[in-house]
Structure 1
């Protein structure tokens, strides 16, 4: 009997030491190796920065410790930690391939949007990755019932590991290591977990800018119409297959002829990040001024509402209307837009749209008609800011790039037709109208359009009804940032006091 007890004790001792060495190996070697070897970056550096390894070890210590504190099961904790690291790296690589950026701290806030509108995100995730995530989540649920160890000691060890990891992460000198965002370089130097924690710390420490007053002066126009067009790009600037040939854009061509100013809008996002372009045009703050807030400026926009175009134009007598034929809760617009100074919001319920395969979202033509009605019925100076929806992806399954391109170009043609029809409709009114039209970003269609250095989209600022003669040469293009377009709108829309 005593020999049996001694044998069990020896086995327990050996098992404890084996788990200790496995844990050390997982924290010091396996998880850092997954991050270092697996993460996709745009750089070509070969050297492994010591700080990156150090941060990977701290994050591994925290992850394994947290799981051990919850389950008390070392085997399950190590296995789930490794699987989580694989998922973390894989999702970041998928995003990098499609959008040209790794996972960021700001992406963690997308969870709510994902639950509300999963089709916006699921189309970009390969089927095998979806299956893997489902199996992983089921494993976690099952593990909560069958793998939790009642012995308190491993839980206490896990708590100690979690606290040590947190203390180490908290001690990282974020302000010294990443004083300003440099995403590609920082991903190389600090790794994916590193930029997640360091950037989040710097984002939290970002100062709130001082408030600004409404602009003095009077309205230079009876109406200012600003349209942000989903995925609108000039086909002549896109790497279209030779089989497609030239794509006619009569609306954009006419708008460029009539424009008081036109050119390239230099946006930072590719295939997504509508909110960056929208924020820049609405608020007029550059990404350099925003710093770490630039990755998702809508997260902190409530603190900067005095900069918003409607609030600034109030002093000149403009009443403002926000139009978006999709769920207004997306990006928290239902709260943000009233704070911006919009006195009225028009959402999808105004259109009575029934989704179909050919037209999943409200058509741009329908949106253009509603803008025309708003301007025609206005009794005083009005500013209309519209965000279109028709040309939002997915345009087809990821396995059908040619079909995706065809659908994209069809919807792009509808957007161009809306621009042309709206210009003629507004020109026929006995009013002075400023029409500003721009794209939010280029489309991302795997197998057709992939992230690159060129990310510009067109913008036009057209003064109606005067316009420019059709036979007059297009004005020279002027490249602007979204914040620069904001400044142009202010310059044109307000007569100084």
Structure 2
């Protein structure tokens, strides 16, 4: 029996390399011995654990192989849409597949879904068809599982990784990299590294010396789409253009996300910490925020500010409700407050978010406000949205070809984001209190097929910092996401012409 178990393990370990052939980006079989050892030891752990639980030899070998194939298929779906393979932190978002299926399931192709269904059916049939062992070598299997796990940990620690999933996968193979990220990333050191980076970040000390109200808006999938082609209507972002001309500072924003993974850009802006300092936490930083830490919100709180988040979606998405408390957010207004708000497509409209921001500013209070708002209207999947014949003419001159359908849906929402800006800036300009508005896009939209057809693939979003007080020339300065918060802080103190009175201010705790 021992020989049979060993042969099945060897077969499973060898056959588990076959799914690597479908994993994108492709990896050469010319890899380091460490990556091969990590792949084989991980398969051995899975096989031994399944055999301990089920007692079914061939079934355990088949499931070990099928698991690699499943991960590779899901990874390919993610890579096709977001240019990034499946990484270990995506496992922690698995429950969101069921609670928010519209955000995930449409990105799985019919072939991928069919393969998953067939694979599950085969697993069930295999489990039922195979007779379990009458006597399981429990001790030997437990020893194999523990020894293999120890080898996997050693190999994962020794594997030379860049933490760029695409580059690492090309060099070491999909499954070895996935396992290495998982074993290395789940160590307590990951959370410690994040906390240490925040403790040394730009908001760990200091406090505001003045007290304007401050609004920070993260606009879903916003970027200046006119860069894609001259055929896109220039007037689609007229309010955005006006805001940039009147701004203190504006420019392109380099963000650590493409097509999705909003929380990476969000975390960089709120903490001022570069993803290189986060180690494995860079992929899903909120999962590793486990105690009170420094952030842009905590910096404002030291100046006596009330800190507020407005987001027209569920507070528990990405674990924001838990993480934001550690980031020193006093209050979170989420989808429950937008039950009767108008929609634009499947999500709450940007204009409704603007109305909520203005309402929050108008609440009676005796302290300044820092309001962080994330919009939702332009969230995909855009290919599920309805586009009428001829609708594209209002936004571009590319015609009604079906390949521009998703672009039309995107530009429709982009125009709504621009209208939101016009409404909000008009309201802020009329306010008696000094107010600062910082606006930026979290990432470009997931429209890879549109970008290919237009021959241009964007990677950066845009930002501006605007004030309703003081005089300053608009400075063009391109930034990285982690530099935006410090730039916002620097913009609070204007150079005011002699004799020009300040607008109404709240007192600060520093005075």
Tell me if both proteins adopt one fold, taking TM over 0.5 as the criterion: yes
Deviation at 1:343, TM superposition (A): 1.7
More deviation, 438-447/183-192? 183-192
For residues 346-361 of structure 1, the aligned pairs below 5 Å read 346-353=333-340, 359-361=345-347
Give the one of 220, 227, 234 matched to 1:237: 227
Is 1:292 aligned with 2:280? yes
Give the Cα separation in 1 of the matches to 2:265 and 2:329. 18
Report deviation, 1:60: 2.1
Aligned equivalents of 1:452, 1:20: Cα separation in 2: 52
Q: Secondary structure at the match of 1:455?
A: coil
- 1:37-436 equivalent positions in 2, closer than 5 A: 37-41=21-25, 47-141=30-124, 147=130, 149-153=132-136, 158-172=141-155, 174=157, 176-178=158-160, 181-203=163-185, 204=187, 205-206=189-190, 207=192, 208-209=195-196, 211=199, 215-238=205-228, 246=234, 248-303=236-291, 305-353=292-340, 359-379=345-365, 380-397=367-384, 402-436=404-438
| Offset, 1:352 | 2.0
Match of 1:471 in 2: none
Report the CA distance between 1:245 and its aligned residue: 5.7
The CA deviation at 1:92 is 1.3
Query: In the alignment, which of 449, 462, 466 is matched to residue 466 of structure 2?
Result: 462
CA distance in structure 1 between the partners assigned to 2:38 and 2:206 by the alignment: 51
Q: State how far apart, in whole Å, the 1-side matches of 2:26 and 2:62 are.
A: 30
Q: Is the 8 A contact 2:270 2:295 kept in 1?
A: yes
Q: CA deviation at 1:41?
A: 2.2
TM-score with structure 2 length normalisation?
0.83
Distance 1:49 1:211, change over 3 A: closer
Post-superposition shift, 1:321? 0.9
State the distance in 1 between where 2:233 and 2:416 align.
18
SS in 2 for 1:279: helix
Taking the aligned partners of 1:186 and 1:340, their CA distance within structure 2 comes to 32
Take 1:244 and 1:253, find their aligned partners in 2: how far apart are those partners? 15
2:12 pairs with 1:26 = yes
Partner of 2:479: helix, strand, or coil?
Answer: coil
Within 1, Cα distance between the matches of 2:342 and 2:160?
45
- 1:442 CA drift (Å): 0.5
Taking only aligned residues, the RMSD between alpha carbons, in angstroms, comes to 3.0
> Within 5 A, what are the aligned runs for 1:435-474?
435-449=437-451, 454-465=458-469
What count of residue pairs does the alignment treat as equivalent? 470
CA separation in 2, counterparts of 1:453 and 1:407? 18
Superposition deviation, residue 79 in structure 1: 2.2
Change (3 A) 1:398 1:75: farther
3-state SS in 1 of match to 2:484: helix
Question: Structure 1: how far apart are the matches of 2:18 and 2:116?
Answer: 21
In 2, Cα distance between the equivalents of 1:330 and 1:218?
A: 30
Check conservation: 1:69, 1:158, Cα contact below 8 A.
Answer: yes
SS at match of 1:65: helix
1:398 & 1:59 partners in 2: Cα distance?
Answer: 42
Equivalent in the alignment of 2:484: 485
Residues 117 and 401 of structure 1, relative CA distance in 2, 3 Å threshold: farther
Residue 359 of structure 1: how far off its partner (Å): 2.0
